[in-house]
Amino acid sequence: MTGPIRKCLTILLAAFAITVAAEPSRAQETLKPGDVISGRLRFFRHQHPNGTWINVYQITAENPRKFAEADEFCDPNTPPKTFHLVVMDDKAKKARLDKLLGRTVAVVGEDFSCSQTAWHVGDAVVFKWHFAEPAKR
């Protein structure tokens, strides 16, 4: 082989090796309590089968990850992509969420599971969470 061809092949082989080596670490990333969930925030009203209307704040994850712990309600082949943020009567959280609608937000999920009932809207529900504070510069 000539020098330039050999050099080009070496560079391509190195790039391929780096890509393949990096892939398993991404595939092995899982979501566990204390991790950040980020994505676009939306709000909508959803009607429960019993007729009750539910106000839903939901994040569509930028980087879906499987849960670290098995959850019988999760599809083992598909990580949850939509996360229903439970707000209940926390007016401060609601006010802050309302200001962030349509934007990318980050929350720290402390207690979550895959959706189990008609009260859970989306792939997963986050019962206990707080806003992830931006990194200090």
pLDDT by residue (tens digit) across 86-98?
998 889 999 999 9
Q: How confident is the model at residue 70 (pLDDT cuts 50, 70, 90)?
A: confident
Stated pTM of the model: 0.75
C-alpha dihedral sign at 54, 86, 115, 58: positive
Q: Is the pLDDT of residue 20 over 90?
A: no
Q: How many CB atoms lie within 10 A of CB 100?
A: 15
Which tokens belong to 127? 């019962």
Closest by Cα among 100, 99, 97 to 129: 97
CA distance readout (Å), 62 to 11, 33, 38, 119, 134: 31, 18, 6, 24, 17
Closest by Cα among 77, 73, 83 to 39: 83
